Structure 1
């Protein structure tokens, strides 16, 4: 009886593992999502911070922020956004710093007329680190392999919405008044 139960449990475990996406499947889907989303129509910002504004999808909240760092939360999921005001949207600095890392599962760049973007994925102990960047702005989170595509889509949506001009205009107006 115990032996039969043991065999059933092993069989169920193998079925569950086999049902999850493989890294190569996730990477293929990730490339498809990124190719279309980096060039998507930009969402209008719905959050104005001191140094820039951005769009956050429903359910996403800002936990804290300063000039260069924003901590975003969606339920129990944390996102760390870093914005370097000295780098423009075509900067390759963050991408180039990732190129030298050895434990990379996926690193791909995406270019448009006015941006240089990338997606980076690497394994952690039980999850994956996902980082999406456009020029001098990047956002990072930890996620499971089966959520990589969804998370990447949301992160690209957030990054493509960032508007630094609106806050520059506000500062300019405030100093001339």
Structure 2
């Protein structure tokens, strides 16, 4: 009986692993989702924070904010937003710093007329670090492989919605 139960559990585990997306498939879709996201019209902000107005999807709650940092959460998912007021929307400073890292799974730049955006992904012990940035503003979170596509779409939507209170400095 125990052997049968172990065999059934083993088969179920194989099915679950086989049904999930591979890292390679997720990375390919990550680029597609990012291109779509960066080319969409910005969403209207629905939250007023200290340095800017921002759109946060339903279920996202701000835990703390100041002039350069915002911490927000959706259920058990934590997000860290960092804004450098000395970098404008066309700044590539954060992207260039990430280019030097060796454990990168994905790093791609996306440029428009008025922004420089990027998406960065690296593997951690049990999940992935995802960072999306536009100029001097970036959001970082940790997520599972099966949630990366959803997360990148949400993070780009949030970043592209930001309206700054005053004019930023240029590089």
Q: TM-score range by the shorter chain?
A: over 0.9
TM norm structure 2: 0.94
Aligned-pair RMSD on alpha carbons? 1.2
- Following TM superposition, by how much is the alpha carbon of 1:3 offset from its aligned partner in structure 2, in angstroms? 2.5
Q: Secondary structure at the match of 1:156?
A: helix
Query: 1:31 matched to which residue of 2?
Result: 31
Aligned mates of 1:78, 1:2 — CA distance in 2: 40
Give deviations 1:46-69, integer Å, cap 9, x for gaps: 111121111111111111001100
Aligned mates of 1:103, 1:37 — CA distance in 2: 25
Aligned mates of 1:58, 1:11 — CA distance in 2: 38
Stretches of structure 1 lacking an aligned partner (at least 5 in a row): 170-177
Instruction: Write 1 or 2 for the structure with the bigger share of strand.
Output: 2
Aligned mates of 2:109, 2:77 — CA distance in 1: 25
Query: 1:46 matched to which residue of 2?
Result: 46
TM norm structure 1: 0.91
- Superposition pairs of residues 89-104 of structure 1, within 5 angstroms: 89-104=89-104
Give deviations 1:96-144, integer Å, cap 9, x for gaps: 1111111111111111111111111111111111100001000001110
Query: 1:130 matched to which residue of 2?
Result: 130
How many residues get paired? 167
Instruction: Write 1 or 2 for the structure with the bigger share of helix.
Output: 1
The structure with the largest alpha-carbon Rg is 1
Runs of 4+ in 1 over 3 A off after TM superposition: none
- Superposition pairs of residues 1-177 of structure 1, within 5 angstroms: 1-164=1-164, 167-168=165-166
Aligned mates of 2:46, 2:13 — CA distance in 1: 44
Aligned mates of 1:162, 1:75 — CA distance in 2: 22
